[in-house]
Structure 1
Amino acid sequence: MRTGTRISKQKQLFLKLIPMTESVNKHEEFLPVTRKKWICKKKIAKTHKHILDNKCLAEDFQSFKNKFIVKLNKQCNDMSTCDYFAQAIKVLEQSLREINTEAQNIEKVICFGLGPFTRHVQALHQLVFVICVQRLYKVKECLYFDPIFNETERKILHELNCFVMSENCEAKYEVEQPTLFYMPHCPGPLTNNLLWCNWEPKKLQNVILINNSFESITSNQPERILRTDLSYILDIQPYVKEFIIEDDYELQSIFNDLSVHAFPRFNLPPPDSDFWQKKDAPVYTDDSILTLNFATLKL
Structure 2
Amino acid sequence: MSQAEQQSHVRNSDGFILVSFKKRKHKGKKIDVQSVHFGSTFTKRLSPDSSSASIESFFRKYTDTKSDLTSSPFFNEITEKVFPILKQAEISRIICLGLGRLSECPISRHQLAFIFCLKEYINLQDRIKFFDPIFSQLEIKILQHLDGVVLKENLEGKYLSNEKTLFYLPHCPKQITNNILWKNWRLELLNNTIIISNSFESILISNPRRFLDISANFIRKIAEYCDEISLPINYKHADIFNDISLHLFNTEALRLKEEQFWEATEPLYNEENLEFITREIQDTLKIGDDDFHN
TM normalised by structure 1 equals 0.70
Alpha-carbon separation, structure 2, partners of 1:275 and 1:89: 36
Pairwise CA distance, 1:77: 3.1
Query: How many Å separate the matches in 2 of 1:93 and 1:273?
Result: 34
Map of 1:277 onto structure 2: 263
Structure-to-structure mapping, 1:91-102, within 5 angstroms? 91-93=81-83, 95-96=85-86
Indicate the residue corresponding to 1:24 in structure 2: none
Q: 1:230 aligns to what?
A: 216
Which residue, 164, 171, 175 being the options, matches 2:161? 175
Q: Is the 8 A contact 1:154 1:164 kept in 2?
A: yes
- Matched ranges for 1:233-252 at <5 A: 233-252=219-238
Between stretches 78-87 and 167-176, larger displacement belongs to 78-87
Could you tell me whether the CA contact under 8 Å between 1:76 and 1:131 is conserved in 2?
A: no
- Equivalent in the alignment of 1:66: 56
Q: Which residue of 1 aligns with 2:76?
A: 86
Is 1:105 the counterpart of 2:90 in the alignment?
yes
Matched-pair contact (CA < 8 Å) for 2:83–2:118: no
Specify the SS of the correspondent of 2:275: helix
Moved more, 159-168 or 135-144: 135-144
The answer for the alignment partner of 1:117 in structure 2 is 102
Which residue matches 1:199?
185
**For the structure 1 residues 288 and 214, does the alpha-carbon distance in structure 2 shift closer, same or farther, using more than 3 Å as the test?**
closer
Root-mean-square deviation (CA), in Å? 2.2
Deviation of 1:167 after TM superposition, in Å, equals: 1.4
Alignment partners' CA distance in 1, 2:269 and 2:67: 41
Shift of 1:188: 1.0
Q: 253, 257, 263: which is aligned to 2:239?
A: 253
What 5-or-longer segments of structure 2 have no aligned partner? 1-50, 282-294
1:185 aligned onto 2:175: no
Cα 1:92–1:179, aligned 2, differ >3 Å: closer, same or farther?
Answer: farther
Question: What stretches of structure 1 of length at least 5 have no aligned partner?
Answer: 1-56, 294-299
Which moved further from structure 2: 160-169 or 81-90? 81-90
1:262 aligned onto 2:248: yes
- Report SS of the residue matched to 1:260: strand
Structure 1 counterpart SS, 2:210: helix
The structure with the greater share of residues assigned to strand is 2
Displacement, 1:271? 6.9
Measure the CA separation in 1 of the matches of 2:153 and 2:258. 34
| Cα distance in 2 for residues equivalent to 1:94 and 1:136 | 9
Q: 1:265 and 1:288 mapped to 2: Cα distance? A: 30
Q: CA deviation at 1:256?
A: 0.5
Q: Secondary structure of the equivalent of 2:128?
A: strand
Q: What TM-score results when the alignment is normalised by the length of structure 2?
A: 0.71
Taking only the aligned residue pairs, the percentage that are identical comes to 34
Matched, 1:143 2:129: yes
Is the alpha carbon distance of 1:93 and 1:71 closer, same or farther for their aligned partners in structure 2, counting shifts above 3 Å?
closer
Distance 2:113 2:244 in 1: 16
**Structure label with greater radius of gyration:** 1
SS in 2 for 1:256: coil
> Which structure dedicates a bigger proportion of its chain to helix?
1
Query: How many Å apart are 1:81 and its aligned residue?
Result: 3.0
2:159 matched to 1:159?
Answer: no
In structure 2, the CA distance between the partners of 1:90 and 1:205, relative to structure 1 (3 Å rule), is farther
Counterpart in the other structure of 1:132: 117
Counterpart code for 2:267: P
1:269/1:94 Cα in 2 relative to 1: closer, same or farther (>3 Å)?
farther
Give the length in aligned residue pairs: 227
Helix, strand or coil for the counterpart of 1:110?
Answer: strand
